[in-house]
Structures are given as C-alpha cells and as structure tokens.
Amino acid sequence: MDFSLIAMQLFSGIALGAILVMAALGLSIIFGMLGVVNFSHGAMFMVGAYAGLWVASLTGSFWWGLFVAPIAIGMFGMAVEFLLIRPLYGRSVDDPLLLTFGLGYVLVEAVRIVFGSDGIPFPTPSQLRGVVNLGIGYFPIYRLFVVGVVGAILLALWLLLGKTKFGLIVRAGARDPQIMRVLGVDIGKVWLLVFGLGVGLTALGGVLAAPMRTVNPEMGSLVLAEAFVVTVIGGMGSLVGSVVAGLLVGIAVSMTALIAPEMAQIVMFALMALVLLIRPQGLFGKSGVQA
Amino acid sequence: MTNINPIASPLASAGRAPATLATAGGWRAQLVKWRVPLSILALCLLPWVLPSKALAVNVLIYGVVCVGYNLLFGYTGLLSFGHAAFFGTGAYITGITIVHFGLPWYAAVMLGVLGGGLLALVIGALSIRTRGIYFSMVTLALAQLVYYVALQASNWTGGENGLRGFTVSKIDIFGLHINFLDPLQKYYVLMAFAGLALWFVSRILNSPFGAVIEAIRENETRARACGYNVERAKLMSFTLSGLICALAGTLSAMHLAIVPLDSLHYQTSGMIVMMTLLGGAGSFFGPFVGALAFLLMEDVFSIWTSHWQIVVGSVFILFVLFLPKGIWGALLAWRASK
Amino acid sequence: MKKHLLSVENIGRTFGGFKALEGITVNFEQNKVTAVIGPNGAGKSTFFNVLSGVLTPSSGRIAYKGKDLTGTPQHRFVHLGIARSYQITNIFPLLTVHENARVAAQAMHSRYNIWSNRERLKDLDEKADAALNAVGLHGCRDAVAKFLAHGQQRALEIAVALVADPQLLLLDEPTAGMGPEETKDMVALIERLAAERTILLVEHKMKMILGLSDRILVLHHGKLIADGSPQQIQSDPEVRRVYLGQSHGYA
Amino acid sequence: MTDMKHTAFFPLSRRAALKGLGAGASLLAMPWIVRAQTSDVIKIGFPMPLTGPFAAEAKDQVKSAQLAVQQINDKGGVVGRKVELLVRDDKLNAGEAATRALELIENDKVNAIVGALSSAIQLATNEVTRARGMLYISISQSDSINEVKDFSKYTFHEALNPTMTTAAVAKHTFKMGARVAYLCADYAYGHEMLRGFKRAGDAIGAVTVGEILHPIGAPDYSTFIPRISAMSPDILCICNFGRDQANSIKQAVDFGLKDRMKIVVPVILHNQRLAVGPDVFEGVIGGSNYYWGMEDTVPSAKVFNDAFRATHGGATPTDYGAYGYTGVMSLLLAMQAAGGTVTDKMVASLEGLKYDVAKGPQYYRKCDHQSVQSVLVLESKKKAEMKSDLDFFKILATEPASESVLRSCAELGLPT
C-alpha cells in the first residue's frame, strides 16, 4: 500500500463525496426548509439527466443541456409543489413522504414510456474528455469539472441563503412560518420557490452525473439511498451538514474500497444507522427536531 | 427547526383517524365484535373470486403482512420503512431450518416467527429512541443492513440467487394428509394461519394495550402524562407487529418454496406501506383490502401494458391526496355518515 | 423533621448555555394551594416540567415523601401521585370525553395486558365518570373531545389529570384564554379540588391568585426571589420592583 | 464548439424520442398476454421481465419466441396441434417469477415453460417446476442450474454457462504469463465468471495480479480504479451484468485505463454497448451466444436473421433475443420428435435432440441438460470501422460446440 495509492484513493473519495453532496443537496434543502421528505428525489435526479440529454441532443451542446434542464425541471418541481404537496400542509408529517413515494413510481414509468427502458448514451463533452496526471495517479478532467461546479453551487447557495433578503426570509420561514405570515410574507410563494430550487439542484446533479453513469430509468433509486444517507448523517435540514457528511461518506466508501470493496454499500448504511442512534439529529442538525 | 408548516398541532394530526373505535355505538360496535369471523368468511371466498389461486395466496400473505404492519403504522402511528426485514427474516429462517437442519415444517414456521419477532425487538429497541422522520430513516437503514447481511451470507441464504431447496409438498396436521402442492388445499392451510393472525391482532386491539397504543397515536405527550411508559408500549407494538410480519414471511416461504432476496429490500417495505395506506391505515380489515386492491391492480394492469407502475403510482397519489383513510376507511366513514 | 410531600433542593436546569433554572430550594406541604408567578421567561414552565418529571434537572435533587426522584421518567411520577395539566390543551382529540378519562384511568390499572378484553374493566368507567363529574363534564360524556368548547377542553384536561387520583396536582395556567365567567367556574373547581389535594398552579391573573392561594412563589430569571403568603408577597419590595412594579397601579 | 454540430453529438434525435412515444403507445394498445381457453392447443409459458431494467432484452426474447411459434404454426403446428405462447411479466423479481410459474401451471395448464432472464429468477422458476414435474427450459447464464443442488430432470439449460463462456474468451485473450486483474460484481454471476476465468487462466498460464469484488448495482467505480491501476495488469476482466457492465467500462475508460490495459468481459452485452455508444466499448472483447454477423458463416443464422427481419421490420435479433428463439425452437422440435406433450417423452427426446436452428449445431448433454453450443468471441468495433449503426461487433473467433469447455459430469457430481 504505497503512499500514492492511498493519496489517490483519498482524492477519489473526496471527488465521490462532491458527487454525493450534489445528489443530496436538493433533498436537504427541501426537507430543511419545508419539512417535506421528498421520496421522489431519485426520480427527479433521473428526470434531470434525461432533460439534459434531450436538450443537448436538440441543441447539440452539453452546455445548453446543463443550463436549461435544471431550470425546466425546477419549474416542473414548482408545479409538483403547487398541485400535489401544498394540499398536504397541515396534515400528518407522513403524507408528503407517502405522496412523493408514489410520485417516484410515476416519474420512472413515464420516462420508460417516452424514452424506452434501455440506457441511452450521454458522451462526456469533448472539451472535458481525457485524464490529467496528478502525480499520484490519473484522474478524469470531467470529474474535476464536476467537483468545481459543486463547489461553485455551494458558494452560490451559501451567499443566497446567508446574504440575501430572500435567504433571510427562507431561513426564518423554516424556523416559524406562523410568524412570517403575521409579518405579511407570502410564505406559500417562498415554499414554492424553495421546492423549485431543491428540485432544480437535483436535476442539475442528474445532468452532471449523466456522463459518468449511463442514463437509464433506474439510475434514480440508488441516488435516493445515497442522498438519504448523506442528508441524515449531516443532519436533516443543515446544508453545512450535507456537505461535511457527503465528503465523510465519500472518503469512508473510498477507504473501505481499499480493504474490502464489497463492503462499500454496507458502510454507508452502517454509518447512517450509527449516527442516527448516537446523535439522531445528525452531526449538524439541531436537537429536538420534531419533524 | 420548523414544527412543520403551519402549526400541525395535535388536534390536526392523525389525518388517518381510526374508523372503528371499540366503544363506538350502533352498527360499528357490531362490526368490531364480529370482525374476525367476517374477515375469515371474506377470505374463504377469495380463491373463487380472484383470477388465480396463486394470486389469492399472495393477497392472503401480503394481507397478513399489512395487518401486522398496521398494528404499528395505523394504530400506534409510527411510520416504519423497514418491515420487509421481519417479513424476509421469517421466510429465511423457515427456509434455512428446513434446508440446513431438516426440521419439520411446523418447527420451521415457529422458529421463523420467533426469529422475526426477536429481530423486531432488536431493531425496535434501537429505532424507538428516535421520532418522526428519523424513526422512518433508522428503520430503513437497519433493514437495509439486514438485506446486505443476507446478500453476503450466501452459503446460508443463497445470496442474490435466493434460498432454494425446501419445497414442502405434504403436510399432516391433526391426522389430515394435505397435498401442499394442490393450490386450493394450500390456500386453506395458509388461510388458517392468516385467520389466527387476524384473531391475535383483534385480541390485541380490544385489549387494554390496544387502548394504550391508540392513545399514543392520538397524543404521545398526554399518554406519557397519563402514566404510560410510551417507549415500552411502542417497543411492544413494534415487536408484535414484527412477529406477525414474520409469520407472513414463513407462509410466503412455504407458498413459493423459495425466499427471494428482494423480500428484505426497502422496495418491499415501501410496497407494504402503500398497500396498508391504500386499504385504510387504522382500520382492522383495511390492510387486507389494500393488499387485494394493490395486487389486483398490479395483476390486471400488467396484462394491458408493461407500464402498469404508472397507474399504480398515480392511484396511490390520488389516495394520499383525497382518500387518506384508504378504501376501507373511506367506506366506513361514508357508511357512518349516512 | 416532618417529611415534606415534595421537596426540591438546589434545582438547576440549563439548555445549552442558557440557565433556565438556578439553585431553587422549596418544600411543598400537604393540602396547600401554592401559586408560582413571575414575568414571562422567568422559568415557570421549566420549573413545572422538572417538578412533573418531563425534564430531568441538570443539577440538584427532587424528593417526593422523602424518596429521591431525580432522573425518574414522567410516567413513574404519575404513578407516585404527581399529575399535571398543560398550558396548551393536550388531550386525545379524536376520542370521546369519556374515552379520554377512561384511557387515563386505565394507566393506573393495566397497561401491557394484550389479552383480556378491556370492556371487562368496568371499574374504569366508574373512575372516569367520577372524574368527569368532578369537573362537571358529565353532560357531554360522549362528545368527541375535538369539538368541545375551549373551556370544556381545559376542564377535560384537568379531569384526565384527576383520574390518576394524584396527591399533588400541577395546573399550568388552567384559566388561560378563558373569559371572566369561565374563570369563575375554574376557580370554584380548583377550590373544590384543594379540599383533598395539594395544588400547585402557574397563573397570571393576580386577583385570582391572591384570593385562591395559601402560598406564592415568585420566579425571576430562573431564581426564586420570594416565597411567602399572598400578603407578604404583595408587600415584598423586591417582588414589587421586579414584578408588580411593571404593571402600574396594581394594588 | 463547431465540431458538436455535424457529428450528431447525440444519437437521440427528435425522431428517436417520437419513436419511443410511438413504441409506448403500441405497447398500450396491443395486449401482450392472451389468456388461453381452448384445451387441444399446446401452451408454452414464457415469463419475462417486461418491466424493469432488462425490459429491452425481454422484449427481444418475446419477439424471437413468437417468431419460432409462428413458424411452427405456419407448418401445421406440432402433430397437428396449434402452439400458443403465453407471455407473462415476472418484473425481474424472484417472488413474482415463482407466482407466475404457479399461475401458468395451475391456471393456464401449460405444457412447458421457457424463460427467465437472471440466475435468481430461473432458479426460483426451476424450484416451482421441478416440484411439479413441469418441463422448463431456462435461457440465461447460470452455473448453479447445472449443479446437483438445483438439478431437475425436467429442466434444460439452453443458454451458455459461465464456465464455457470464460473458457472460450480466455482462450483467445489470455497468453502465457499475461498479468490479469479482475473487477467482479459481488454476487453469484460475478463469482461464477471469476471462477471460470481463473480456471481457464491457470490452464493457459496467465498470472492473476488481483481481484476486486464490487457491490452489485454500484453506480460509481472511481474508488476501485486506483487499486486496479496500481496492479498495472495487461488485461482487466470486468465480470458484471447489465447496467453495471456499461457503468464500469465507461468509468474505466474515463480514467484512461483502456490506454494501459486490454478490457475483457465474459459476455459483451448487445444492449449495454448501445447504452454507451461506440467510443467507450471500442476494443473491448467479450463472449456471446449470438451475433447477427454470424450469418456470413452460419447458414441457419442467415435463415433466422431473414425471418426475423421479415416479421419485425428489418430489425436484427440481439444476443438475448436469439436465446428466445433457440429455447422455444428446441422445445418445439423435441415435442415433434416426442409426438406430443407427455413430459417424460419430451425429456427423453430433448436429451437425444440434435438441432441447428440459429447458430450452428447444438445438443443437450445428458447428465446436466446443458446445451452444448458454440461460443462467439467478439470485439467491439471502432466507430470508423462500422459499416452501419448495427455493425458494432467483429467476430474474432467462434469456439465450436464441445464438451471440453464444460465442467465434466463427474466434476459436477452428476451420474453420466
């Protein structure tokens, strides 16, 4: 086990962590701000990948796909919130979870009807093909690009939520929607935008992941499991938690792959169960979370 | 952290209120009194009504799973996403005891039920420490661990190929020689077990403990203030629910003569939740109606198109939105409002 | 030294850095009505939660009839005879009034019996009806709790606490949100209950407290700043400055 | 950016998307499954995973199987009795597969069952059929179906098994002293392929430099690749199935492994090559049971291809599609030889059957009912070499049908 192998393994763990963060971000935002557990998160990820594929095949450029698809699917997410999730506010906390579970089925099958059930190629954009020698090993340029985009997205989100008026309203609304209504804020509209933002980010994750994984109707189910693991470990509703948890899980999976590769997936769920039992609210979640 | 938007005070919670209360007056009290015999009568007719005996047995098995699950979800108000672990473990233990230890079928069934119940006690003890969404997530994570253990222990469980080699062809109970391969005889033997499970659940719901879990569903804080050890009651409900799901698992192992690895996967847990809610969480016979509706929909729609899942998914969304009480729950509410 | 009904010694409770309660030592005597007053955020509810076992104290000791209860879960408190009502109505909304009381009565009788039919426990019905009579709710015995008027729900909350036949009854703002008429009924009820039980209540309506209670504790910023008869409290300069002084022209 | 436009960056044009819609609509209109009523008709149950990740392979198999039935019915059926194919959806779930098998046997009273597309499903179906003495021909890769534990007198295995596949592929890729690394899915299929390759590799004298077992269905392989490159093998054998094959090869190529080592797979999957396009698969070698390109050398393949093109609008049969045809056709020929559908007679005639329906001479070995058949070794062509969209494999070699590549009956512990 020479040094460069371990270093390379650590680096690929961080890169995998970035991808896990991207996959979990949308879920964490929607849960954190709305208290809604989106079980169709995996399906939205997959729909995002297909939308990116469709736009790219029409315009012939990956970049259009990367830009247009998340916005389109984000708007679709807003329609879902308005039509399906809104009637459920005020009812038991399980209802949104159950509804989105059914929605996941519908989205997967709808894509199968439109695009067929076998995988469709999504070649890596030509500028980003090839590998770069990091001295400790070869690493695909595309994955470095993805890590970069994830970093940019996190920065933008941190600024949006931390520094803007909208961000303040969203975070306050998460704390106590009743007060926000009293202060004359149309909290319904805020939730609409937040749900759209969450779904849009998930779709962006789909488009980014498409060149790495084949685009197929079932690609979402694994992402759902990964996103839950990361979101729960980080602490439901805490963005910082999702980022740290994503990197932590990525490195844990990567290091396990060195010793016992077949245990990679078990490690994820074992880590999640462990955190939930010791610190139910997750690493960064606030205790006493009743959701 | 928001207490969900807007204030979901205890008064507004439990949208899926129980349709039948033990002490409600009139026809409803009669229904509660005679629910077990009526249910068993309905089950007797099932094989003659449904297109195939195998489907009837599946409805029976998933009905028992959902009745067991409903004890926790409908009556205690805890949404677990890991009940496939108990269903699958019951099946696996039954299969393993026959394949590797050559025990007779009834010993295998007993061990399957006890093993599943024990697992429920362990997972219950761990997951009861959390609440709300975290509870659902812990049960999902722990059940997936059971799935991966079964995948790895392939010399015991047959790994991804599933467990094979324990076909039960003949059964002798109380002097009766039953050819278990004959679909009808098999159905009525399994129905006897299902009837037993229904009677056991009905006893629990009518018992003082039944009132405790319903109180916990209604308002956990007040239940604790009344002097109930809520954690212990939840754990008992979780374990009893696991026992019944394990029983259904043993029946499934005997019916299919294999134990597929998917029986432990969270997709199965999700299906159990869907069936229970579709039928009517919080009602006695609702889960059976849910299992029947779900499997019938699946069977009928998959004949017309291979895209049957879009229909099942949409129907489920409509139920969550407009009929949270489920088919049976809505029927009872409609009957009550007349 | 006569054993007190309930005694707390140097009780403290912190949430993260915030000290909600600090160094409170009080002994409660049998059959007295004690009121706890103090401005909002003084720690009254936290104090109540510690006394009823909902919260375990971060420091100090709590003893009931000489027996140390520190760290015991709330349901043990109820069985020992310490029951409480909540500031925000906390009843079983979808059960009927009778069923609310009956479920509470059953907690004293059998909790984990999964076999016999609960209809056979006839004495529970009597106990439940007795509690409902005590609070005057027998008329709407079969109404679903959710549809009761606010005052009736508050009364039901006390009935449910009463069913455990507690020796110490903690009432958290029993008259919250009530008009003068309903408050009068509630005060009459509390007086009836005080005849055979020790009552501890948190309230803001000063006239009612001064008339009703034998002893008043005043909390401020988590500390006990005064403990005495209504007359002593009214004339205590510290209390006047901190509490009464804020509401001008109050007698 | 300009090179994007004219290289039709993405094969998915609007036309393809609309075609998908059309296919969906036709599926909805045409009921796949007909409930059989009349009794003198010979009924063959055909459970397939019509829903789920292998729906494409399943639909190919249904098309080929229907072609076989149609051909026999056009020639007057079997012993004058018409043949009917009852297609059922087993949803790629072993529990469902067992239920479908029970329904086919108990309700539809079928005479035989052909089908199942994963080892878990065929073993589940086998369990139901062998208890009820129902003839069953399974048509997907598995070693365990031949082994004593799961062996059934009434079950025949028309597909390749890992031992013969890996033996053929190793013969044409491994050399004495070649350094071989393995990346295999951690379940029965992966283990069987790994065992087969190492068995063949030892015989040839190749050196195993490392084995990595990855979780089945893993979406990301980046964490395994540093170890593989550290082993610096000459050949990397990737033993997994379906989407795993497409994902693992794509990511191996992304990491530049293909420039430094030869990528070999036990079975090179037709639909997975379509799922990732020519560049990723370029130069990858793997085995297969059937490739339409065989028609240049094998006459029966030409006949089969033309018949398939005629009935299915010019489309050519895929690898798994061919299994549907050879499986059903061998059953029908055996029924004709047995002069009816008496199970024991059919078993006897299948054991003695010599048939060449689509890929050259085949026969069922008596002791383990394994169909001894040729194994193709294919290499995925460069995009420039492809004459048409479908011309994506080059036949490197055809390993003729022989028992030498199989585990002997004694080794399997079965009486010869």
Phi (first) and psi of residue C25, to 5 degrees: -125, 120
Any domain includes C191 = no
**Domain spans, chain B:** 49-275
Q: With CB atoms and an 8 Å threshold, state whether A269 touches B144.
A: yes
- Number of domains making up chain C: 2
**H-only helix segments in chain C:** 44-51, 74-80, 97-107, 122-135, 150-162, 180-194, 206-212, 230-235, 237-242
Q: In CATH, what class is D31-160+295-373?
A: alpha beta
User: Alpha-carbon distance C194 to C213, whole Å?
Assistant: 10
Higher pLDDT, D346 or B130: D346
> Looking at the DSSP assignment, which residues form a beta bridge with residue C64?
C6, C67
Mean pLDDT of the B82-102 span = 94
Residue D23: its pLDDT value, please?
A: 45
Smallest CA-to-CA distance from A106 within D320, B308, D262 is with B308
Residue B245: its pLDDT value, please?
A: 96
Residue D2: its pLDDT value, please?
A: 35
Any domain includes C50 = yes
Q: Which of A56-60, B236-240, D21-25, D193-197 has the lowest mean pLDDT?
A: D21-25
Q: Is residue C26 located within the same domain as residue C73?
A: yes
Q: With CB atoms and an 8 Å threshold, state whether B314 touches A102.
A: yes
Q: With CB atoms and an 8 Å threshold, state whether A175 touches B133.
A: no
Q: With CB atoms and an 8 Å threshold, state whether B159 touches D187.
A: yes
Burial C93-105 (b: 16+ CB within 10 A, else e): bbbbbbbbbbbbb
Q: Is residue C68 located within the same domain as residue C4?
A: yes
User: Alpha-carbon distance D416 to D406, whole Å?
Assistant: 14
Residue to test with chain B: of C49, C100, C102, C112, most B Cβ within 10 A: C112
**Predicted confidence (pLDDT) per residue in C139-158, tens digit:** 888 899 999 888 889 889 98
From residue B232, alpha-carbon distances to A160, B13, B117, B212 in Å are 45, 23, 15, 11
Question: Is D292 within 8 Å of D317 (Cβ atoms)?
Answer: yes
Q: With CB atoms and an 8 Å threshold, state whether B1 touches A237.
A: yes
Residues of D in contact with A121 (CB under 8 A): 10-11, 274-277, 280
User: Alpha-carbon distance D250 to D292, whole Å?
Assistant: 25
Residue C174: its pLDDT value, please?
A: 87
Mean pLDDT of the C214-231 span = 87
Smallest CA-to-CA distance from B42 within B284, B234, B260, B241 is with B284
Higher pLDDT, A60 or A173: A60
Question: Is D308 within 8 Å of D324 (Cβ atoms)?
Answer: no
As a whole number, the mean pLDDT across chain B is: 86
Residue C245: its pLDDT value, please?
A: 55
Q: Which of B25-29, B77-81, D3-7 has the lowest mean pLDDT?
A: D3-7
- At residue D7 the predicted structure's pLDDT band, cuts being 50, 70 and 90, is very low
Residues 58-77 of B with CB under 8 A from D: 58
Q: Is residue C147 located within the same domain as residue C245?
A: no
User: Alpha-carbon distance C182 to C188, whole Å?
Assistant: 10
User: Alpha-carbon distance D251 to B302, whole Å?
Assistant: 36
- At residue A196 the predicted structure's pLDDT band, cuts being 50, 70 and 90, is very high
**Predicted confidence (pLDDT) per residue in A37-52, tens digit:** 899 999 999 999 999 9
Determine the residue of chain A that is closest to B148 in CA distance: A266
Q: With CB atoms and an 8 Å threshold, state whether B324 touches A270.
A: no
Task: Assess D22–A contact: CB distance below 8 Å, yes or no.
Answer: no
**Predicted confidence (pLDDT) per residue in D148-184, tens digit:** 888 888 999 999 999 999 999 999 999 999 999 999 9
**Domain spans, chain A:** 3-118+126-278
Q: In CATH, what class is A3-118+126-278?
A: mainly alpha
Q: With CB atoms and an 8 Å threshold, state whether C94 touches B218.
A: yes
Residues of D in contact with B262 (CB under 8 A): 93-95
- At residue C243 the predicted structure's pLDDT band, cuts being 50, 70 and 90, is low
Mean pLDDT of the A96-114 span = 92
User: Alpha-carbon distance B210 to B219, whole Å?
Assistant: 14
Domain containing residue C123: 87-165
* Torsion region of C165: left, alpha or beta (phi above 0 gives left; psi -120 to 50 gives alpha): left
Q: Which of B15-24, D300-309, D368-377 has the lowest mean pLDDT?
A: B15-24
**Predicted confidence (pLDDT) per residue in C20-65, tens digit:** 888 888 888 888 889 988 888 888 888 989 888 888 888 899 988 8
User: Alpha-carbon distance D178 to D201, whole Å?
Assistant: 9
Q: Amino acid identity of C108?
A: M
Q: With CB atoms and an 8 Å threshold, state whether A213 touches D250.
A: yes
pTM: 0.87
Percent of chain B at pLDDT exceeding 70: 93
Would the pLDDT of C247 be above 80? no
Residue D44: its pLDDT value, please?
A: 94
Q: Is residue C175 located within the same domain as residue C158?
A: no
Q: Cα A3–A7–A12 angle (5° rounding)? A: 150
**Domain spans, chain D:** 31-160+295-373, 163-288+375-405
Higher pLDDT, D80 or D233: D233
Give the CATH number for residue C228.
Answer: 3.40.50.300
Q: D163-288+375-405 adopts what CATH topology?
A: Rossmann fold (3.40.50)
User: Alpha-carbon distance B78 to B242, whole Å?
Assistant: 13
Task: Assess B157–D contact: CB distance below 8 Å, yes or no.
Answer: no
A35: nearest CB among B4, B130, B277: B4
- At residue A287 the predicted structure's pLDDT band, cuts being 50, 70 and 90, is low
How many CB pairs below 8 Å do chains B and C form together?
Answer: 114
- At residue B13 the predicted structure's pLDDT band, cuts being 50, 70 and 90, is very low
